[in-house]
Structure 1
């Protein structure tokens, strides 16, 4: 494990790939179904089936990539070889996905969506694990993840602004622009990181544990169990508003075009808040800072029903978006730094550095929370007879608001409670590093 602090330029070079990689999220999540169901004339049900089929394999792909990168041991490092191979695979997938030939069918969609999805996984999981291994110091880990995840939020913000700034309104044009921007920026940024940033290799004093002992140790890691629970609950809390925001602005506020500017406020607040959370986590600790941020988000979002019929509702909604967007900044930057400390618990017990499998498990927890959101929200709305075409009664609107802001607010407060007494603080992490050094 590296012990020397990184220079600012090294941290920046490491964090730079996060910005373009985040820019591909919008076309993959929002534009892709409409692109293939619209210009490509594919049945929407077929599109949904193919996309879901690819994501089902994440249950196998994520832990496999995480564990293989943990076991990797080359003269270039552990994480770099995976990223070097995954980058062109993901790029080919993006080109095939958004620049298909006429008449491309379900098989084409499956192959190239699989390439970009699994290529992105093979790139991102080693990338996150790499960041956890660049330093063994409590605060330095927060600096690294703050810069990287601040770049992620900025990339999301740019992906929303760039098409508007360039006057590109069609989904086809937006998909083309963002996929080319992602590849054009990610290629040099990833290459520079691979060349300029160290990828420390652990000293192996015994053969790596098999899959079963590894999973047993991961499952017995109590701080990790608490963190992954918080990650899953928070994923659901973030997924519900994301799935329902357009419906709320259309059916409750009757201002569908206002969602765009308010989302810009939300993500801008996330970017701007990152230095504040970094400073606060240095003073009071990472888990306390995340708990405070989640409590702030939960309380702020709970005010949404009270402002819906107030004068200047958009201004009030913008104020709420500032607070919840700031909470997003904490969501992105703090849990990965806590995850690096959680991995120390495993290393102290096993003598093996396995950040890859831990970040794979955390990713799966977030995906599960996000995936549960529409699976919970839309059937419940259907059960009460809610219609996206209007004419809903007070009960139906109330269920929509409960799912949009009521349940997420309660879940955010639950995350704050879960993390309030998290067992790893600065002192405990220093003790873990001392135990690891003594074992070595």
Structure 2
């Protein structure tokens, strides 16, 4: 395994800054841009993004599988990052800055978003897999993921803060903000990717056996710890995205604050999360990553209802609650992929290959499925129970769905995590067995 000092961990984390900015743009700005500033209908834009989400979920396992099968003198992950980054930037240009004519065509949007997701996944899965493989140490894995997720928080902070600094006069269009995002990505992503490729050595492949797709899926089914982790992760992200689907409406109708304050609150949440990440990693390694994540699920369930207790139009109280959410929600962003890395070793112990790419792909698939399902649950339930976003009537339904319903997902996830079977001691036993097995194989060879 690669010796991961602080400098190498920082260099590995660098590309996550832009990946986070692009994620923010995809969620917050791009659908609104194509629906309001290009002349396309809301129905057409909604259908295009729904189809793109299905496509994105479909290609994840294939990217993970073929990334695991890659063999080159530069390793398995770096070739994907090397080829993927320039192509990702090209498709980001098409999607973020479509031009006056291209953006008016639904065909242009469909082709751009489909290509973007292919390149996005082609970079993201190998990048996450590389992070899982940089160390076999239980605590070191948490530290590496902590650096990467801190970089993700920095990306979100830049996405919310830089437009406010650049567009100091006037109200910028969404298209102008997206063009700024692309310009920032064009500078930051190539530099950070080159530093990673140059200074962070890719570990030698642990297992030369490359299972077939059938063998891979069979090995995943045998890995009960990984299956349990995926159920817990799905529930965590389902609860979090149900909250995300309604939080802007809560700010507007329950807190009686202007919609423009939303980005300030997001900035506070992620800034606090960034500051607290080092302490989070220390506590997770001391208590166990699974227990720290389970505790976070319980604390988020207790934190969200505080937004319903805030006095109307009280900006300071809202900021304090979002600062608290920065502490309680951060573990959901940081810890799951470190646990996935541990589950890969269990998969090897149960007869699977060195399949970090496939494991990360399956985890990503669960996250995306939770995102798609959350919107399908949250918005119809609000309407069913009587919330009307045009008049603000039925705030009780808005509060119940956005702030209370997530607990129905968080609390079962907490139980699954508190009873998760893979802790630091058991992982150490498995890794020592794997090391002895590898040593015997080398002697026979």
Match among 86, 95, 98 for residue 88 of structure 1: 86
Gaps of 5+ in 1: none
Distance, in Å, in 2 between the alignment partners of 1:308 and 1:363 is 38
Q: Name 2:293's counterpart in structure 1.
A: 290
Contact 2:33 2:174 in 1 (8 A): yes
Q: Name 2:421's counterpart in structure 1.
A: 423
Matches within 5 A, 1:38-187: 38-104=36-102, 105-167=105-167, 169-187=172-190
Q: Name 2:431's counterpart in structure 1.
A: 433
Distance, in Å, in 2 between the alignment partners of 1:315 and 1:415 is 31
Q: How many residue pairs end up in the alignment?
A: 432
Distance, in Å, in 1 between the alignment partners of 2:419 and 2:392 is 46
Contact 1:351 1:436 in 2 (8 A): no
- Greater Cα offset, 107-116 or 410-419: 410-419
Contact 1:235 1:368 in 2 (8 A): no
Matches within 5 A, 1:231-242: 231-242=233-244
Q: Name 2:409's counterpart in structure 1.
A: 411
Report the aligned-residue RMSD.
1.7
Residue 398 of structure 1 deviates from its aligned partner by: 1.3
- For normalisation by structure 1, the TM-score amounts to 0.94
Q: Name 2:384's counterpart in structure 1.
A: 383
Distance, in Å, in 1 between the alignment partners of 2:424 and 2:378 is 39
Distance, in Å, in 1 between the alignment partners of 2:241 and 2:344 is 26
- Greater Cα offset, 249-258 or 121-130: 249-258
Match among 15, 18, 30 for residue 17 of structure 1: 15
The DSSP-based 3-state class of the residue aligned with 1:201 is coil
Q: Name 1:264's counterpart in structure 2.
A: 267
Contact 1:296 1:324 in 2 (8 A): no
Aligned CA distance change for structure 1 residues 273 and 365 (closer, same or farther; 3 Å): same
- The alignment status of 1:280 with 2:278, answered yes or no, reads no
Q: Name 2:199's counterpart in structure 1.
A: 196
- The alignment status of 1:306 with 2:304, answered yes or no, reads no
- The alignment status of 1:247 with 2:249, answered yes or no, reads yes
Distance, in Å, in 1 between the alignment partners of 2:29 and 2:317 is 29
Contact 2:257 2:315 in 1 (8 A): no
Residue 94 of structure 1 deviates from its aligned partner by: 0.9
Contact 1:11 1:147 in 2 (8 A): yes
The DSSP-based 3-state class of the residue aligned with 1:41 is coil
The DSSP-based 3-state class of the residue aligned with 2:406 is helix
Match among 37, 41, 66 for residue 35 of structure 2: 37
The DSSP-based 3-state class of the residue aligned with 1:5 is coil
- For normalisation by structure 2, the TM-score amounts to 0.93
Q: Name 1:211's counterpart in structure 2.
A: 213
Contact 2:233 2:366 in 1 (8 A): yes
